[in-house]
Amino acid sequence: MTTLHPAHDVRILGKECRTLAAAGHEVHLAAPVAEEETVDGVAIEPLGYVEIQTGPVGLRRRLGAALAAARSSGAELFHLHDPELLPLALRLNGSAASVV
């Protein structure tokens, strides 16, 4: 999951997600995109916004969108790419999913 980077970021999609998908894992990337798409076996899912707002309001919006996406995903494991998602990690650690 990323709240700040484009879905096609070479580090996130290229090095992390594609590698996991090629190894046989089901991979979903929640990112600030307008529409769902699949790239090399990676399902890219919108967080509900495309323009990234700054400041406290933007941060609350991004964290809220990320938490909603995480809760509805049913994922067993979350990789949170951005440091701003650390509060989300604390909320998800109480669930059945693991956070890395």
Contacts of 5 (CB under 8 A, 6+ apart): 11, 12, 31, 81, 82
In this structure, what DSSP letter does residue 30 have?
E
Q: Quickly state the pLDDT bin for 92 (edges 50, 70, 90).
A: confident
Q: What is the pLDDT of residues 12-46, one digit of tens each?
A: 999 999 999 999 999 999 999 999 999 999 999 99
Rounded Cα gap, residues 66 and 58, in angstroms: 12
